[in-house]
Chains A and B, each alone.
Chain A
Amino acid sequence: MALDEQHITRAEKYIREEMSAEERTSFEAELSTNDALRVAFDFVKDTEKALEVTEYKRLKSMLKENSKSSGFRFKRWLGIAASVALVATFGYLIFGVDQTTTEDLYNQYYEAYPNIVDPVNRSSDGGNSPFQLYELGNLDEALDYFSVMATSDTTLFYKGQVHMSLGNYEKSVTAFSRLDKSSTFYVSSQWYLALAHLKLGDNKNAERILKPLSEGDSNYADRARKIIESL
């Protein structure tokens, strides 16, 4: 059963206590007779709870790292990390343990960034903007548009995305490098910039960019840490 937008909106209003007493009573009565509404309500309620638990874990771990008593843990972790590095180095030297190639890493982690600016929807026939052309995979056409559009952080970011999708990694590096820290796309551009460097075999620059990402609290932190560990 597909999720109905109206049912979701009503469920959200109910959960957030934004309904009048009458609306609440009517909503509760309808829950027992309308399966689609029940499905939407349960899903919204469970998603909200799941997000709460996820955020709790993330914040707890952030404060733990920030705690003054974590010095010991950090030192111990450093010790473990050093031992692991030592064993891995000897393992590689003695047994020739195979290393993951940067190509593998790129393939494992690269996923094109979605069009969040102007998504294709039911009311548009698609292809109304370079963002929609990108979403629909009309990359050459999208690139033509981006090339003549006024330069902004958004157009630069998506131009970089188009170049990546087309395999023009050097050009994507140029585009992503031009975004500055004030851009909403800055963190994402750094992630893709690192992936483009990886693809070009420039591990040194990839690692330099991944390091601050791995230490930050964005959604890329875990993935950045994993790539650094594999390099």
Chain B
Amino acid sequence: MSKDTKDWILRIKEGAEEELKGLYTLYEEEFKTWSGAMYSLSEAEAADVFQDAVITFYFNVKKGKLTTLTSTVKTYLFAIGKNLALKKIRKDNRLVVDNEVMEFNANVAYEELRVECSERQQLIAGCLQQLGDPCYSILRMFYFDRFSMDSIAQRLGYKNEHVVKSQKLRCLQRLRGMLEKKAVNNEDDV
């Protein structure tokens, strides 16, 4: 594994979003040129696809699905981007001459992004927006970033992990209360 790959994974695991922007900017132009030539993607389509490729990489690292890579980050991102681009042009029934570029067919395993969600999950997402800090940060750091309680305590300035744990439980109770209220209001509207 190259040093470059290991560094990106570590930096993203640590939660540095600025790194994600940097990674996107680093290869955006190259991806646009490449996907434009290979799959006739417009600039806006290529940007959209590449954004999803970078986020897929980010999610896989966060969820612990990606801990090591046998290729460079660029190859990984372009391979995901290629799959997303192919999906897009197949969906649009567009004809494309696919001159396979083996370079981006490296051994790339990843979990696809699934952003569709149920009505209840959408309601919870709405409640999360209203929840505010520190609850949102605690829940995001625990469930999304997968940080330990100790790490969350240090990041948010809590006394110790036990305080975070009890605060997290309160936040979940509050979130559930908001959800129940919202669900009742929705029923009343019907």
Contact residues of A with B, CB < 8 Å?
2-3, 5, 8, 16, 43-44, 46-57, 59-60, 62-64, 66-69, 111, 114, 116-119, 121, 153-154, 183-185, 188, 217, 219
Whether the Cβ atoms of B169 and A50 lie closer than 8 Å is no
Given contacts A62-B21, A184-B157, A188-B133, is CB(A51)–CB(B128) below 8 Å?
A: yes
Whether the Cβ atoms of A47 and B163 lie closer than 8 Å is no
Report which of A3, A50, A117 forms a contact with B163, defined as CB distance below 8 A: A117
Who on chain B is nearest to A154 by CB? Answer: B157
Contact with A along B134-146 (1 / 0, CB 8 A): 1011011001101
Among B24-32, B84-92, B99-107, the stretch in contact with A = B24-32
Whether the Cβ atoms of A50 and B159 lie closer than 8 Å is no
Please indicate the chain B residues that have their CB under 8 angstroms from the CB of A2 in the complex.
173
Whether the Cβ atoms of A54 and B125 lie closer than 8 Å is yes
Whether the Cβ atoms of A66 and B121 lie closer than 8 Å is no
Q: Is B20 among interface residues, defined by CB-CB distance under 8 A?
A: yes
Report which of A67, A116, A153, A219 forms a contact with B158, defined as CB distance below 8 A: A116
Q: How many inter-chain residue pairs (CB < 8 Å) link A and B?
A: 121
B: number of interface residues (CB 8 Å) = 52
Whether the Cβ atoms of A63 and B21 lie closer than 8 Å is yes
Please indicate the chain A residues that have their CB under 8 angstroms from the CB of B159 in the complex.
117-118
Q: Secondary structure at chain A's binding surface: helix, strand, loop or mixed? A: helix
Whether the Cβ atoms of A60 and B173 lie closer than 8 Å is no
Report which of A8, A52, A62, A111 forms a contact with B172, defined as CB distance below 8 A: A8
What would 25 A/B residue contacts be, using CB atoms closer than 8 Å?
A: A2-B173, A47-B143, A49-B117, A49-B118, A50-B125, A51-B128, A52-B115, A53-B122, A55-B140, A59-B20, A59-B55, A60-B52, A63-B54, A64-B47, A66-B24, A68-B29, A69-B47, A114-B134, A116-B134, A116-B157, A116-B163, A117-B158, A119-B167, A119-B170, A219-B132
Given contacts A63-B55, A67-B51, is CB(A53)–CB(B157) below 8 Å?
A: no
Whether the Cβ atoms of A55 and B144 lie closer than 8 Å is yes
- Measured in the bound complex, the distance between the Cα atoms of B17 and A59 in whole Å is 9
Q: Is B124 among interface residues, defined by CB-CB distance under 8 A?
A: yes
Q: Is B78 among interface residues, defined by CB-CB distance under 8 A?
A: no
Q: Is B156 among interface residues, defined by CB-CB distance under 8 A?
A: yes
- Measured in the bound complex, the distance between the Cα atoms of B157 and A188 in whole Å is 12
Please indicate the chain A residues that have their CB under 8 angstroms from the CB of B52 in the complex.
60
Taking A46-B121, A64-B47, A67-B51 as known contacts, 19 extra A-B pairs with beta carbons closer than 8 A to each other, sorted by chain A number, are A46-B120, A47-B124, A47-B139, A51-B128, A51-B143, A52-B115, A52-B144, A53-B125, A54-B125, A54-B128, A55-B144, A56-B113, A59-B55, A67-B47, A69-B43, A116-B167, A118-B163, A217-B17, A219-B136
